Structure 1
């Protein structure tokens, strides 16, 4: 069943808890006033009429894993949940190749200002505390965004509300799952969306897939979303397998102008070339992940990148690498190498090598920078710390097969 919702207001969609709180407000508002008849919803003993939603804007920044305020979300836990989520996708559904944050990897929780005012009885505590994994999934030529969130929860299952649920299922273990297949309209734009929310005893898991257009197709069916959110491996109490590594992080991209992203085949080719040269240039170095295990840069960056920890005789240091195409020919001007704080050389083959110290690097970020512009206009950039030989990095950046 597909529901059509055409209202002026917008329902809160920052976190599932906010929706639950909004439902609670609706319930509180209808208990003392007569209400019109509503249609029955399968699996619901009582159905309340739809209430008006509202939208709001609030600033936030991404926190970190192992936040003491949310001890259940360790880095290993996020990685295990991400693996479980991807494994729960139907076998014929493909995940779009993208940066880790857009590859269904559960991210650290957003941090909101504690004194923020939202209104309508909603507090920062109501909208925070969830870890979210996002990506684009496809099947048979149909693509759509998928967003899955999980958070610790020990509340009561809210009553069914018209327009928010069109079927409620109670699983054998007592878990309640609400699903919805609906079309909503806002500012004249229709969006087809399917959602599923699982109320475990200790966890709230939600999934939402959307595509613009009233008749737009979606690659995941309602029952498949129900299967995803009811996966017990997404519960906050699910055990993490020993040896689970932390999840991949996005690489910082130095590009300012969006360019078409690199394909998976190209990124894998670059990674293989980088790995072959690494074995030659750094034969004794050890890394916590293969240097050639590249991922796409941030959305629209058109780059491939990696971040590894390298063990050297001087200790352990972080090394970042980014490969992209340079469109600014000013970097081939000899004067660039004479800029204050920048050292540079230009080998006979036309390569431009520049290095400098990043005075704004903070924490454990590498402070040394090296930029190698190849004759093909492919640029390889490194960030590194003590113990990394610069000449060896130049050799690494000159590897055959790195041209874009």
Structure 2
């Protein structure tokens, strides 16, 4: 037993030293004599060497809670065994009376302490619940019955909901400029149960936030009007501009994308119309005697028409007759007939042909063309051809039965054979018979 006592003291001192190192500047919920733990919303920053604590006292008038900071050595005195240090729990009193005292060393941890004592269910000793219930039917007034005749009215599992602490604010909803932050809370300290009232108020809360100003990206202004054409006649260029000033880029914003200058072709009036040059000399006459022609040309290059200029009006060439002198002509004469062509049929009646040209000599200088036909045809192979007799192939199989007509009850089928090895076979090439069924 002496050794065990020494071990307990050593553990207690070690735990106390550990607390002194780890509990600097804890934030704890702080309140005195509240009737419900969720009512404690204020916080306090503890001094060095202090930890959070919570006390829960059962009294004749109801439950009373006190939370705040206290020296860690007061909490270490509450420990009774070395195994009492588990997690963030530093100390806990023995449940020998109606008071619960617990300590912890995490931020804002003391609103979670003594929870096992919170659902303690009993009636106020001074209240005669049977009489009050019979006279006033207090159980119908749940909000009063839960404090005076809790067990009598069967309200041990009846709790009105109460808000837990607000969660931390979310990050600003934008990366620059003005935005919103939000936070939420839950109706869990305690949650409503047994028909208790839900929490009253907002589940979510928003507030505005503002970060560093956003970059301003540049925007193009409207195009200016087109400037004057670069030439007074012909093809020129004209220009228009715009600026990156709607708005100007600032705070590291992007410059405008695209071109600030635009050019296009412009067409004004024609610089000049075309004009004819002088006629060239007449060409030589096309014939040395008899009727002939001669021509002459001119160009629209005096001056050439400019772009958009009009072309010259009139014809670029002239034709005239020439050489009225009569020519002595040569009459044409037939050349030799060609040989007869191959007969169009190998046997039986066919035709063959031959032709000649008027080139011995050709007519010239007004001479007459040859008289007569340049083409002849005649019959050929007037004798009879010998006909070769062929042989029938085997009959094909009978085909499927077919009706002779739409309303006929008779069905027929056919078969066929082919004549090979000659030009003609004696007999029929097909047969038809009635179907047998």
In the superposition, the TM-score normalised over structure 1's length comes to 0.19
- More strand by percentage: 1
State the structure with bigger RCO (CA 8 A, min sep 6), 1 or 2.
1
- More helix by percentage: 1
The structure having more radius of gyration, on CA atoms, is: 2
